[in-house]
Structure 1
Amino acid sequence: MAEYDKWDIRKLEILRTLRERGTVTATAQALLMTPSAVSQQLTNLAKQLGVTLLEAQGRRVRLTDAAELVLRHAAAVFEQLERADAELAAYTHGEVGEVRVGAFSTAVPALVVPAVRALRATRPGIFVQVREAEAAEAYELLGAGAVDLALSLAAQAPSAADPRFTRVPLLADPLDLALPHGHALAAAPVVRLADFAAEPWIFGGSGPWSDITRGACEAAGFSPHQGHSAAGWTAILAMVEAGMGVALVPRMAAVRREGVVMRELAGERPHRHVVAAVRRGAEEGAAVGFVLGALREAAGGLGR
């Protein structure tokens, strides 16, 4: 008869987190443990399973092939436990429950708030707790169990093949060109990205928006000259309004300003893709499913 008691879920979670975070210290921080407690738990797990799980690699440790085999089987266990939690919540609470959502800044007013408003009218027993987080950080929070649903940019998200998560495409958000009102091309019949190759561009110095802007311009045949650097849309649009340069702005983030003209680009219009994600198996929970549905509705409204 198999000795099931040696498969300790908590210790397996620690091992999985170590693979994700890379070091004992980072694992301890993620799980709110001490490094010594992490090491002790993993030593105990190795004894229980009768295999070597870690090997020293300089100041770091690496997972052995045996550890990878253990985690490959444990992934199915974690998925099934998420599914069990989801079904139990649906059975116990029906349409009552709390869903914690981590979302990047522009997604909060454009997608999350409309979804919350819709749920108040249709599912008043579901409470949505919102946490603003950078696109990449939202997935870290999801993996650590700090949120139940993450809204992110596809470019910042883990691969769709990542066994920990189920990804749900929500929106292809078009990028429009922001021009100062007095720009010579502000009223042109057709506006193409390549027409602005010689202009000073305004975008962040690093991060996803820098990558998206550079990628869109390079696809149009030029490398943008960064005249000014800013991360917030208020600052970017204020500089455009002042005639300091031009900028790509996602339609979801556009805020009307008197001196800024937003133009839809002709030809191959650049987009940024917005996705939602939950831990694999959790999408079957009633409350999470209703929130996903409301987010899809909100995204569909933006797409029309």
Structure 2
Amino acid sequence: MKGASGTTSLWKLRLQLMKPVTWIPLIWGVLCGAAASGSFTWTPANVAAAMACMVMSGPLLAGYTQTINDYYDREIDAINEPYRPIPSGAISLNQARAQILLLLLAGLAVAYGLDLWAGHDRPVLLLLALGGSLVSYVYSAPPLKLKQNGWLGNYALGASYIALPWWAGQALFGQLTWTTALLTLAYSLAGLGIAVVNDFKSVEGDRALGLQSLPVVFGVERASWISAGMIDLFQLAMVGVLIAIGQHLAAVLLILLVVPQITFQDIWLLRDPVAFDVKYQASAQPFLVLGMLVTALAIGHSSLVTLS
């Protein structure tokens, strides 16, 4: 993801703008939504549809999100990360605009195709794709630029990475209910904590340009505690939900997956989040996403999936 000046390949530069590492949570979110639907079966047609939904959520719409974010953050990145493709001058603004439009249209086309495949009376997936794309735009672009507000911007990011792909996977194979929609929005508050981790490396540029990220507002140390607290608190809230719906084994498994996250928070996040942000995310996030799958499977086996 670094070293844009080290290559002249346009396709490598375009891929750097799309940040493939960020596709993983969305691909996983689709898997969780399919599990939560309670209706997914391992038929070739279902697997192909799930993979198409993952492509829509990850490479296409997450790629769109990352590219448009870099496009509007080029002044900040010139301070924080001047090696990125746009501030380094390795890719032109017109090329970036073309990439944004192509990824958006391709993502919306796949969403509409999936609605046709699923036989939806309403184009649920297309509406989700349009809504997510709009959130991505207002997150990055003026005049709203949600990322200027640490709380609102990070929650929008967390919900986009947890709730939206989950909804897409569940709507594709089953029924997206208000109950599970609200639960995933609550789960997205843990995603807010993860989003804060991405802000530590950008403190200097955010402060210079007046962006009110949580590390800028509260300081790096306090923001690291806020991040850890959000991640842990709302996963433990899901433990309470699992107990309430009678999924006790899943609740125990989720607790066991939260414990190593707390351990890595102590080792990396709370000691020096600026220096160790990548190490922390690499070590702790696998346990968070496994916890999402445990929760999704439990919901899929509970009566929640049948509620409207």
Normalised TM-score (structure 1): 0.23
Point out the structure with the larger helix share: 2
Normalised TM-score (structure 2): 0.23
Instruction: Return the index of the structure with the highest Cα Rg.
Output: 1
Point out the structure with the larger strand share: 1
